Amino acid sequence: MLTAKQHELLHFIHDRLSATGVSPSFDEMREALDLKSKSGVHRLISALEERQFIRRLPNRARALEVLKMPEIAAPAVAAAAMATRLAVPVAANDTVEIPLHGRIAAGTPIEALQGTEAFAVPAALLGPGEHYALEVSGDSMVEEGILDGDYALIRKVDSARDGEIVVALIDNEEATLKTYRREGQMIRLDPANRSYEPQRYEEGRVTIQGRLSGLIRRY
């Protein structure tokens, strides 16, 4: 029998894989389950592995496969899962509309994004907070599984921690999608493609406009 948190995490991974085909990151799992650290996520993943509900795919970063789902939830587990779903809709067939703010470069910074359209997103992909979507242009984040033409789901925040993928606005003019790093008084924006070099800026030139929370890929 799974604990409430194990059950919640299994459904979160299953819903994300069903909607996008991409496993959620450990940071996304930590936020979705309201855990204080990623070590709690690692313990839950290991427990689900031991019970053969999921497995890690070899030689692929962040790759998980759901092997089975619990057929009947225990009353306490079901109640906890229902409480989560009341707070944030996660049914795979539910959608919400968020703003779509044009295209953002995943290679070289482009002009600041303009315009707003409505973009329908499976509610299971969105955690707490305000979100918007961007269409990815470029290939510099391919090693993080972010491809040209993908739709990046961005949670609005104005700060970032090392290692987070963010929307960074440079000089209030150009926006880019990169991994955030701090180097003393400088900000380094790292691509995930060996063909590209990191970008370094003075701290005052960079404004954080959001953090990546999910991806949608259309075929």
Burial 68-86 (b: 16+ CB within 10 A, else e): eebeebeeebeebbeebbe
CA distance 25 to 4: 20
- Tokens at 60, concatenated: 């692929």
CA distance 25 to 23: 6
CB 123 within 8 A of CB 94: yes
Q: Please enumerate in sequence order all residues whose Cβ is within 8 A of that of 4, keeping only pairs 6 or more positions apart, or say none.
A: 76, 77, 80, 81
Q: Tell me the residue ranges of DSSP E strands in 67-191.
A: 95-105, 110-111, 117-122, 131-137, 151-155, 165-170, 174-183, 186-190
| Catalytic residue list contains 36 | no
Which of 23, 25, 140, 213 is flagged as catalytic?
A: 140
The DSSP line for 175-200 is EEEEEEEEETTEEEEE-SSTTS--EE
Which of 5, 23, 25, 178 is flagged as catalytic?
A: 178
Q: How many CB atoms lie within 10 A of CB 198?
A: 12
Q: Distance of alpha carbon 70 from its chain centroid, rounded?
A: 25
* Amino acid, res. 47: A
Active site (catalytic) residues = 140, 178
